[in-house]
Amino acid sequence: MMTTSPGGVGLILAGLAAFTAGSPGSRAEQLPRAAFQHGLELSTSEGHVTLGWGGEGAGLVYELQSAAGPDFAEPTVEYQGWDEASFLSGLADGRYFLRVRARRPQEAAWGPWSDTVELVCEHHSLTLAWALFACGGVLFLLIVLFVGVNARFLERFESSDA
Amino acid sequence: MPEGSTVLSARAGYALLGVFGVMWIALGMYWGRRARSLDGFMVAGRNVGLALGTATAVATWITSNTTMLAPQFALQLGVWGMLAYSTASFGLLLFAPLARRIRQAMPHGYTSVEFIRLRYGRAAYVVFLIISLFYGLTWMVSMGMAGGILLEALAGIPYHYGMSVILLVCVVYTLFGGLYAVIGTDFVQSVIILLGVVVVAVAILSRVPLTEVYGNLRANRPALLNVFFPAAIMAVFNNLLFGIGEIFHSNVWWSRAFAMREGVGMKAYLLAGFIWLPIPVVAGFLGLAAPAIGINVTRPDVVGPLVAANLLGYAGGVLVFIVVFCSLASSIDSLLAATSDVVTKEVLQPLLMPNASDARLRKVASLVIVAVGLITWAICLPKMGTLATVLFFAGPLVGSTIWPIIAGLFWKRSNRAGAVLAMLLGSGVGLLAYVQIGWYTATLIGTAVSFVTVVGTTLLRPGSFDWRTLAAERGAAKA
């Protein structure tokens, strides 16, 4: 134990301990970590996704980055602020990589990046979409015709009856 | 949520909640003083005129879903989504001729469930009752949740407090005034909503030009402008049919058809449809504007109120709060009243008190309103899913009722077995589509299956219904 070390050696060790406690590596350990609160492999066929995350401690500032590759060579900052979720929409077909980090509001240094989420966006086939669109259109027309023709027929029937 | 991160302070939120809560209760009690008889309580004396009739249809159809779900549609599905939501106005427009037919066919009627029982018999009645109650509950839960989510997002009021107060206010004034109170408050609420929407639209357009919104979407969210967006393409007619199914089957709309004076229903529903049509477009624009003004959206169902409040500041926050509170109250009260009518007249009376007097039924209806409010509150507590996922689960169920209802009203050859099969098969296959493909296909597929079943069974085994059965339920009637 340092406190029980004799004389000068103890002082040197205590000084070393104080120095290492303030070193960059150790500070990094104290910086807040952020993590996604869902699985790391996500998929969507509608082009949107809600991402949720959290950090160690309350009132942290977060940064969410996205990129086209896992190396984040050309990252885009999707969000910076207090929120612990973000809804992304209007995504085209493709693979998206996302990561988040946190910092305390009074400090400039960011904590380490979280594990990376891989989001696969694969929209439904257009053939299916247009087929259902056509089916819906026909159904709508049938309802309009059925209600319109029968209501008109009843109206005429009643007026002739009167 | 950190201090100061909401547009309104919690104190301002509680104050607005208190002022409007007291106002609705006072107005509801004032208008509801004539609701002493069963007819007064359930169908407002069957004497509602064109102005009140139109206002109540508009206010009821401008739900929290219009002000909160339409922007969500636009943010998720782009321009197609915005247009898809506005197609719900076709439900009101097409119900216009139905309202006339309903009033003529059942001059002494009370509920849509009663029509199904008389037209198609007991088996169809049971299936339809389950669908009707399930839908009513999901709609009410989605609105209770919307209230809680909105107050939390705008003023930082905890979800459970906000949701509870909104439900409590609506239960209290509906309890005292029945449909009289509902229609009276709907009139005031529709005026506030329409004025608020116009002010928000003008203010937003003056701060965020269309070109800026378009440019930002094109650069950052191109799929939202894409005409070939598969999920959005599928959503267009799905939403249209969902709107038609909701209105055609729900006792909320049938009770108004019974309540309106003869000759009023058709005009009132047509007018209401045209007044309602542009509102989702305005609300939807808020969703499209979100990326352009750099707001982080944590839940897609609050994007509309958040954008309006952020762009217009404190005053905008107050305005949005009032508009959404009005739209919530105008729909929750209608659902409470309509569900209470169904449970009292179609479940409790035939099962437990077949010879009950109108005065006793009036008291039971009040107790049912409290019970429905409590059940809704209990389901809202866990805050499950987004508004869309909660509401659209009922889509295939209501879609499957469209053809049994219109065939039942106009086509004497449609038969009992066909109606039951159409609702069961339509609901089942539609729910399968909900799980396998997505919510934006479920109603469409459910309606298609129901159509084929109704038409097929009618052609194979045509019935011959005597229309006088509908009118004869309470004695005197026109054949």
- The per-residue pLDDT for range B309-332, each reduced to its tens digit, is 788 888 888 888 888 888 888 888
Our CA-based measurement puts residue B241 at a distance from the nearest CA of chain A, in whole angstroms, of 7
Per residue in B154-171, pLDDT (tens digit) is: 888 999 999 999 999 999
Kindly determine whether residue A151 and residue B244, on different chains, have CB atoms separated by under 8 Å: no
Beta bridge partners of A51: A86
Question: In 10 A of CB A101, how many CB atoms?
Answer: 21
**Closest residue of chain A to B266, computed from CA coordinates:** A151
Q: By C-alpha distance, which of B130, B83, B139 is closest to B393? A: B139
Tell me the domain boundaries of chain B: 10-388
Q: What percent of chain B has pLDDT over 70?
A: 96
pLDDT at position B106 is 92
| Helical segments of B302-438, H only | 303-342, 349-352, 358-380, 387-392, 395-399, 402-410, 416-436
The label of the residue with tokens 């026909």 reads A138
**Closest residue of chain A to B241, computed from CA coordinates:** A140
pLDDT at position A159 is 62
Could you tell me the pLDDT band of residue B179, with boundaries at 50, 70 and 90? confident
pLDDT at position B180 is 83
Kindly determine whether residue B448 and residue A135, on different chains, have CB atoms separated by under 8 Å: yes
Question: In 10 A of CB B120, how many CB atoms?
Answer: 26
Specify the range with the lowest mean pLDDT, choosing from A71-75, B5-9, B182-186.
B5-9
pLDDT at position B385 is 63
Contacts of A50 in chain B (CB under 8 A): 298-300
pLDDT at position B5 is 63
Domain A32-123 has CATH 2.60.40.10: yes
Question: In 10 A of CB A120, how many CB atoms?
Answer: 13
**Residues B63-78, mean pLDDT to the nearest whole number:** 84
Residue B258 has pLDDT above 50, yes or no: yes
Contacts of A106 in chain B (CB under 8 A): none
Among B97, B296, B438, beta carbon nearest to A79: B296
Specify the range with the lowest mean pLDDT, choosing from A74-83, B28-37, B67-76, B290-299.
B28-37
Quick one: fold of B10-388?
Sodium/glucose cotransporter (1.20.1730)
Among A92, A129, A147, beta carbon nearest to B223: A92
Comparing B365 with B388, the larger pLDDT belongs to B365
Could you tell me the pLDDT band of residue B386, with boundaries at 50, 70 and 90? low
Per residue in A94-131, pLDDT (tens digit) is: 999 999 999 999 898 999 999 999 999 999 999 999 99
Contacts of B98 in chain A (CB under 8 A): 147, 151
Residue B80 has pLDDT above 80, yes or no: yes
Q: Which residues contact B159 (CB under 8 A, 6 or more apart)?
A: B148, B149, B151, B152, B383
Could you tell me the pLDDT band of residue A2, with boundaries at 50, 70 and 90? very low
Our CA-based measurement puts residue A59 at a distance from the nearest CA of chain B, in whole angstroms, of 7
Kindly determine whether residue B229 and residue A123, on different chains, have CB atoms separated by under 8 Å: yes
pLDDT at position B473 is 64
Task: Name the helix (H) or strand (E) containing B289.
Answer: helix B279-293
Residue B456 has pLDDT above 90, yes or no: yes
Exposed / middle / buried, residue A34 (Cβ in 10 Å: 0-12, 13-18, 19+): buried
Q: Which of A61, A62, A126, A132 to mutate to test the interface with B (most CBs of B within 10 A)?
A: A132
pLDDT at position A29 is 57
